[in-house]
Amino acid sequence: MKKNNVITFRVCEKTQNMMDEELDWCKREKTPPYAKWQAKDGDTVITLYNSGKVVFQGSDADLASSFWIDTERINSGKVDIKSSESTKKDKLDKSIKVDPKIYNSSSIGSDEVGTGDYFGPIVVTAAYVSKENIPYLEELGVKDSKQMLDDKILEVVPKIIKKIPYESMILTNTEYNNKYSKDLNLNKIKAIMHNNVLYKLRESTQVYDYIIVDEFAKDFIYYNYLRDNPNVVKNITFLTKGETKSLAVAAASLISRYIFIKEFDKLSDKVGINLPKGAGDYVDDIAYSIAKEKGMDYLKDIAKLNFKNTKKVEERLR
């Protein structure tokens, strides 16, 4: 019998917005009292309460929550986790243990950037890291990619892309808004983009041990998103916190971030102001000032309109 694990912690507004978008595809119609929404991802039920508390409950609660625990640490600098008896700290730590066989392999890894930002594109990259290039990437600090600030990324990534093969795909805001629908949600868009770059890189890569994707959906859900695609990359190893367990994923994350920064700067130049990243209250203020001056239609080419920020701007313009 599967154990019913329960993991609870509070999340800041930025993480709440990211969860709201990422889990939109699996939200339930009925919402419990005092909750913003409830979703079911595989065997795990996720409930976000008005207080900012989020509860993961189910046999895979430790796996489903690990990504969001890491995200909250990045967004707010800390996270206070409360878990049931069956998910003590030693069990949670299993999700961040590195498998030497995977870490020291020649692998193709993929990761995305921009899915939690109201302004700017989504960028997905697949990168190939051979065993021989692992020491070089470690020396550059790629192992700690999540700790790198933008200035460091702008310095390091040009060195990386001279050394390793990669494929990237950029989805502009205009393209995103034209594609997004109830049948084509954010996770499905991500799956299609990941498959696209992985397919291209795999075709040009002769020797590899693993293909690794930083997990954002269970494998059966991921492949279901691609059921109509004639060229689906199979035999993928899905890893939570993949950038800490695979240098190929870490390198892909950094390259995606590098491209995102460059594209974001171009977008800021186009608008004529320094656009903020994320999806918090300050983003609402900037979006409102832009829409008030240039009209709501202008946001279609610079923002992700399905984010809640858009409704807030529309309400302020009334």
pLDDT tens for each residue of 176-215 = 999 988 788 889 999 999 999 999 999 998 799 999 999 9
User: Which pLDDT band holds residue 171 (cuts at 50, 70, 90)?
Assistant: very high
Instruction: Give me the helices (H) in the chain, please.
Output: 13-22, 61-76, 89-92, 100-103, 134-140, 150-161, 173-179, 186-204, 219-225, 242-245, 247-271, 281-294, 308-317
Residue type, 73: R
Provide the pLDDT for residue 95.
Answer: 47
User: Residue 191 — φ and ψ, nearest 5°?
Assistant: -60, -45
- Residue 282 reports pLDDT greater than 80: yes
CA distance 228 to 280: 35
Average pLDDT along the chain? 89
Confidence at residue 62, expressed as pLDDT on a 0 to 100 scale: 80
**Higher model confidence: residue 64 or residue 54?**
54
3-state secondary structure at position 99: coil
Average pLDDT over every residue of 244-262: 95
Residue keyed to tokens 């030497």: 100
Interval 74-97: pLDDT, tens: 788 778 888 764 444 444 444 457
Best-predicted range by mean pLDDT (3-12, 59-68, 80-89, 297-306): 297-306
Sign of the alpha-carbon torsion through 11, 12, 15, 17 = positive
Give mean pLDDT, residues 259-271.
96
For the chain, helix, strand, coil in percent to 5 are: 50, 20, 30
Over 80: is that where the pLDDT of 42 sits? no
What pLDDT was estimated at residue 30? 86
Give 182-189 contacts, CB < 8 A, sequence gap 24+. 185/24, 185/25, 186/21, 186/22, 186/24, 186/25, 186/115, 186/306, 187/22, 187/25, 187/216, 187/217, 187/221, 187/225, 188/25, 188/225, 189/122
| pLDDT of the residue at 272 | 94
Whether the pLDDT of residue 4 is over 90: the answer is no
What per-residue confidence (pLDDT) applies to 1? 41
Nearest to 20 by CA among 53, 48, 51: 48
* Domain segments of the chain as ranges: 5-96, 100-266, 274-317
Q: What is the mean pLDDT of residues 159-187?
A: 93
Q: Which of 53, 52, 20 is nearest to 39 (CA)?
A: 20
Structural tokens at position 42: 């595989």
pLDDT, residue 73, reads 83
The yes-or-no verdict on residue 2 having pLDDT over 70 is no
Is 90 exceeded by the pLDDT of residue 233? yes
* pLDDT, mean of residues 218-227: 93
Task: Report residue 195 CA to chain centroid gap.
Answer: 15
Q: What is the mean pLDDT of residues 224-236?
A: 94
pLDDT at 314 over 70: yes
Q: Which residue would you say has higher pLDDT here, 164 or 5?
A: 164
What is the spatial distance between Cα 87 and Cα 282, in angstroms, rounded to a whole number? 37
Could you tell me the fold of the domain covering 100-266? Nucleotidyltransferase; domain 5 (3.30.420)
Quote the pLDDT of residue 144: 64
- Please state which of the ranges 135-144, 193-202, 295-304 shows the lowest mean pLDDT: 135-144
What does CATH list as the number for 5-96? Answer: 3.30.310.10
Nearest-5° Cα angle at 41, 191 to 54: 115
Q: What are the structure tokens assigned to 175, written together?
A: 């393209």
Angle between helices 13-22 and 186-204 (to 10 degrees): 80
Cα separation, 124 vs 50, in Å, equals 32
What integer pLDDT is reported at residue 85 of this predicted model?
45
Band (3; pLDDT cuts 50, 70, 90): low
Whole-number pLDDT of residue 24: 87
54 three-state secondary structure: strand
